[in-house]
Amino acid sequence: MVGRGAAVTFGFVSAAVAVYTASLVLPDYFQPSAVKPRSPIVIGHRGGMNDLPEHTLAAYELGMREGADFIEPDIAMTKDGQLVAVHDIELSSTTNVANVSEFTPRRKTLYVPGVGNMTGFFVMDFTLAELKSLRLHQRSEGRGTFFDDAYTIPTFSEVVDAVKRGRQSNGRKIGLYPEMKHAHFYTEMHEGKVDGQARLSYDFVSEFISFVNSCGIEREWLFIQCFDRSVLMRIATNTSYPLVQLVAGENSPMADSNELFGPLLLTAAGRTSLKQYAAGVGVAKSYLLLPSSGVLSPSRREQFGSGVEWMEDLKNAGLVVHAWTFGRDERELWNAYARQVDGVFADFVTVAVGVRFSFRLFVSGLPLSMTGGGLALASVGGALIVLFVIAIQCVFVRADRSRK
């Protein structure tokens, strides 16, 4: 006869076996590698921007706590040559600058390549001290506004320090993924070629590279991204950090500036050029969809071929493919992970991390899946072992009850 104590003891043993089996079957996907990031990475787009104003130290810290492998600051430069993290070179959409009377005379209209005419208040017309006097607010509708006007614009140096603190407080490596914002336009301003704008004393690109090269972040944990092809080609020999060529969506105004931003970079000729200076591409998520979906126009489909073709070509050449920007739609994230992208830019970090985990669990249990037949068979075997020990436990418990 089997006693209750024996049944309970066997239950604990069964649970231990199940946990041990699961640990053999399912890799620990929550903990990133201590050596380099584990693909696909989740990039906290402008930090944890759902609940907090974007590009604030608090938003970056929240994104790291939510599980982002990298955080993504947009970097611009002030009038006095200081690098700062801001959404764009125009300040109205994210700050209270329009309500500060002393700054009213600085409102102007400039033509910005890839965007067109922009009217408002521009970062390069303000010193760092003046920018620090402004307050940030939520830019996107439908997101939390409770913390509006609570934070100021951070410097790039402050962002780097926040990442280093985040590594300590979260007990894991976290990377940095800065974007050089309108870098070609800054170069033109430095050269005195922009109508209506005084010549800038500082060269944004040089200041950016000088700072990044001395920031102390490991090479595997920092990507430099930019839409401006000419700028990336310029700096390719000036830094050891990997460069990511951003590619604008087909319907973006940037798509008209093919030399700097355009989707023609994904054609066969464009890819040949990319391989000379870039370590990867950051593409609009629409390029991950199959051409038959109708998202791309017939002419674009003919240029690109299938999404698989351009992606496989770049991956075979050793380039990474990151896609932007994902919101709450889990189907889009599943599609991206299924297409085997190397990373996603996410507005909602917890959603992207959760879908990634679910997708990996799903894939690990598919026979002959992309993770390899061995892992799939191990998953099936592990599941059978767990079911077996549960069944044996039920037999012991039933025998114990029948004895009564």
CA angle, 55 then 85 then 183, to 5°: 130
Provide the β-strand partners of residue 84. 76, 155
Q: How far is 30 from 67, CA to CA, in rounded Å? A: 8
- Judge contact between 21 and 390, C-beta under 8 A: no
Q: Is the dihedral of CA 250, 254, 259, 261 positive or negative?
A: negative
Backbone angles phi, psi at 231, to 5 degrees: -70, -45
- Judge contact between 254 and 261, C-beta under 8 A: yes
Q: Where are the beta strands (DSSP E) in 255-311?
A: 280-284
Helix (H, G, I), strand (E, B) or coil at 81: coil
- Judge contact between 84 and 156, C-beta under 8 A: yes
State both tokens at 40: 């696909």
Residues 6+ apart with CB under 8 A from 325: 45, 285, 345, 346, 347
Residues 6+ apart with CB under 8 A from 314: 271, 274, 275, 280, 281, 321
- Judge contact between 322 and 282, C-beta under 8 A: yes
Closest listed residue to residue 94, CA positions, set 73, 79, 114, 115: 73
* Residue 153 identity (one-letter amino acid): I
Provide the β-strand partners of residue 284. 324
Catalytic residues: 45, 87
Provide the β-strand partners of residue 247. 283
